[in-house]
Amino acid sequence: MTISTIKATFTASALALTAAMPAFAQTTLSAEEEAIKAAVEADYDAQINFLEKITNINSGTRNLEGVRAVGREFDTEFKALGFDTRWIDMPEGMDRAGHFDASYNAGDGKSVLLIGHLDTVFPKDSPFQTFERDGDRVTGPGVVDMKAGDVIVLYALKALKATGHLDRGSYRVIFTGDEESTGKPLSVSRKDLIEAGKASDFALNFEGGSDGMAVIGRRGSSNWSLETTGKRAHSSGVFSDDVGAGAVFEMSRILNRFYGEVRGEHGLTFNPGVLAGGTFITEGENASTQTAFGKTNVVAQKAVVHGGLRFMSEEQKERARAKMREIVADHLPGTSATITFEDSYPAMQEGPENTRMLGVMSDVNVALGMGPITAYPPSRRGAADVSFVAPHTPSMDGLGAFGGAGHTPDEWLDLSKQKFATTRAAIFLYRLMREE
């Protein structure tokens, strides 16, 4: 590469970067923002006490009363802030508690949707039940995923209210009760969330936080099921014109071609999570439990696989599905196969408005004494509730609490960052709601 080529490349990159940056980056705090920061700090002890209270209420997804009990605690707090609140019940047969919904309309201005979830992965009989503090380290069920994130939403809004800055636009808060095990059908369990997203100018999700990265893109997630059949016969006849290859060979053919021909696009993955094959297959309570019976001297009559598919965009998902269907249709002798797909979480695609919000958050981060914020690679992020609204409105995630070991008995929260995360959320909202 010549010197002139290097200079040209550098100049083009610099111009592109400059074009993506705000014209006037605000990397210091205004007097109003200093007051918001002070309000968060003044309420900090109350915030931690409230977090301890709700962490000590078991709200495993299937503990419906526990999820509702956490919702009632937030209901009291949001009503005191002047929000209108309601509980969104789910149909009885869905076995899900429902969702907490709060709204506040201060008049003209932008509308924002703030997203969290009340449920955890820890059931009522889990031995991991209580909030335990050791200095700035807290352990507890769901403390970081994501009760501390929900509390950040509440206390950021409290700080805005206390400083007189909850005075324009409209705020909608939805804390779902089944994020960890989403109720089906999705058209029912996510109906209100999607409608709220469509009615909002932007949406923010308060899952796990970081002082260096945020989420403006996520992969989508869906499921697939594959069933193959063969002719049940004595194994001495396998491969013959009368018997053919059997169900297990047909399944092996398909999975091997999936691996060789569907794999390869950036961010696309598909995983056959459970497989059974033999003479008879018995399905348990759900697709995760399969029991097979077969014999080594009998050609397999049936095989089933249930798997997951993750994708960067709807277009990538449909390309993968089309290729999978094509492969499935090319049967071995004496066999048949069918594949079905089930949609779950759509992809959250990066876009210019998401990138612009990332820049605003980065400025806030710097103003609070931290470094700039960059985007998590979407291929490294799983699905979340924000994915349901992302196709309808600019969206961002990663605004929540700092900690780790989620979904395990070692789940922990870094309290030393909770005040910062709440302050950042409050000032970020303040700036977004006042943009022209």
- Each of the 436 residues of the chain gets a pLDDT tens digit; together they read 333 333 343 333 333 333 444 445 788 999 999 999 999 999 999 999 999 999 999 999 999 999 999 999 999 999 999 999 999 999 999 999 999 999 999 989 999 999 999 999 999 999 999 999 999 999 999 999 999 999 999 999 999 999 999 999 999 999 999 999 999 999 999 999 999 999 999 999 999 888 899 999 999 999 999 999 999 999 999 999 999 999 999 999 999 999 999 999 999 999 999 999 999 999 887 788 899 999 999 999 999 999 999 999 999 999 999 999 999 999 999 999 999 999 999 999 999 999 999 999 999 999 999 999 999 999 888 779 999 999 999 999 999 999 999 999 999 999 999 999 999 999 999 999 998 7
> Which residues 6+ apart lie within 8 Å of 156 measured at CB?
40, 422, 423, 425, 426, 429
Burial 243-265 (b: 16+ CB within 10 A, else e): bbbbbbbbbbbbbebbeeebeee
Q: For residues 337 and 228, what is the distance between their CA atoms, to the nearest angstrom?
A: 4
Among residues 246, 239, 241, the alpha carbon closest in space to that of 300 is found at 246
- pLDDT score at 8: 41
At 107 the pLDDT is 87
Distances (CA, A) of 276 to 133, 304, 433: 46, 5, 54
Pairing of strands 302-311, 220-229: antiparallel
Pairing status of strand 99-105 against strand 84-88: antiparallel
**How many C-beta atoms lie closer than 10 Å to residue 287's C-beta?**
16
The pLDDT assigned to 24 comes to 53
How far is Cα 335 from Cα 301, in angstroms, rounded to an integer? Answer: 9
- Nearest Cα residue to 425 out of 352, 364, 343: 364
Q: Tell me the longest C-alpha to C-alpha distance in the chain.
A: 85
For residues 230, 233, 235 and 236, what is the CA-based torsion angle, rounded to 10 degrees?
-120
- Residue labelled with tokens 């959250």: 348
Q: How far apart are CA 258 and CA 306, in angstroms?
A: 14
Question: For residue 213, is the peptide bond before it cis, meaning its omega torsion is within 30 degrees of 0?
Answer: no
Place of tokens 């592109």: 16
What local confidence, expressed as pLDDT, does residue 17 receive? 37
Distance (Å, rounded) from C-alpha 350 to C-alpha 201?
A: 16
| Residues in contact with 12: Cβ distance below 8 Å, sequence separation at least 6, in sequence order | none
Contact by Cβ (8 Å): 71, 131: no
